[in-house]
Amino acid sequence: MTESPTPYVLDADTMTGGMRPIRQAVLALGSNLGERLNRLQSAVAALEDTPEVTIVAISSVYETAPVDALEGSGDFLNAVVLIDTTLTVHTLLDRALAIEEAFGRERSQKGEPRTLDVDLLVVGQRVCDDDQLKLPHPRAHERGFVLVPWLEIDPEGEIPGRGFVADLIGDVDTSGVSKREDLEIIL
């Protein structure tokens, strides 16, 4: 987590002067339609431009076969982003959905190809289970395309209630997760 003289910052958007903790959050990015790398790069730029969000690390780019996707779906480019934020989990979710929408993400049927996918994996130790959001992400611990890039940038990463990423990765098939040495997301 980014060092700060105090673990709290003022919330300038409220009249009460309330304070919110800085939390580390992990987001997964993916695209399997169109200019995949440009979309991942643009998602990182949009996150970087988000008030109360500081990008701490970005993984390498990985190419993976689609999981739980419609037949004929193309391969994904994936990356994981580690951020520090004072945003509430629902505000962060709203931002992720707005970024997806800006790049033409459609949600007409489950498993369809995606111009851009921005998933919240964990936000601190926060657990949430409501109609809009489930934290930690309910399938993150099962997905090599999430765990491999996450482990790269956060060797001590942990999924609350599931365990450490370094331990979980041994339980999933990572054979289809290929690091693309020729591609890079630039901050």
Query: Looking at the domain assignment, is residue 183 inside a domain?
Result: no
Give the mean model confidence (pLDDT) for residues 139-159: 97
Query: Looking at the domain assignment, is residue 35 inside a domain?
Result: yes
Please say if the pLDDT value at position 10 is more than 50.
no
Q: How confident is the model at residue 8 (pLDDT cuts 50, 70, 90)?
A: very low
Query: Looking at the domain assignment, is residue 92 inside a domain?
Result: yes
Please say if the pLDDT value at position 160 is more than 90.
yes
The residue segments making up the domain with residue 127 are 8-175
Query: Looking at the domain assignment, is residue 185 inside a domain?
Result: no
CATH number of the domain encompassing residue 167: 3.30.70.560
Q: Which one, of 180, 186, 154, lies nearest residue 77 by Cα?
A: 180
- DSSP 8-state code for residue 101: H
Predicted pLDDT of residue 114: 80
pTM, rounded to two decimals: 0.86
Give the mean model confidence (pLDDT) for residues 162-183: 96
Q: Which one, of 153, 157, 139, 156, lies nearest residue 185 by Cα?
A: 153
Task: Count the domains in the chain.
Answer: 1
Q: CA 127, CA 132: separation in Å to the nearest integer? A: 13
Query: Looking at the domain assignment, is residue 180 inside a domain?
Result: no
DSSP string, 29-87: EEE-SSSHHHHHHHHHHHHHTSTTEEEEEEPPPEEE--SS--TTPPPEEEEEEEEEE-S
Please say if the pLDDT value at position 103 is more than 70.
yes
What are the pLDDT digits (tens) for 81-96? 999 999 999 999 999 9
Query: Looking at the domain assignment, is residue 3 inside a domain?
Result: no
Are the C-beta atoms of 157 and 68 separated by less than 8 Å?
no
Predicted pLDDT of residue 72: 67
Q: CA 142, CA 148: separation in Å to the nearest integer? A: 11
Per the model's pLDDT, the better-predicted residue between 78 and 13 turns out to be 78
Q: Which one, of 141, 52, 57, lies nearest residue 94 by Cα?
A: 52
What are the pLDDT digits (tens) for 19-63? 778 999 999 999 999 899 999 999 999 999 999 999 999 999 999
Which residues make beta-bridge pairs with 82?
26, 57
Please say if the pLDDT value at position 127 is more than 80.
yes
Q: How confident is the model at residue 75 (pLDDT cuts 50, 70, 90)?
A: very high
Mean pLDDT of the chain: 87
Please say if the pLDDT value at position 15 is more than 80.
no
Q: How confident is the model at residue 109 (pLDDT cuts 50, 70, 90)?
A: low
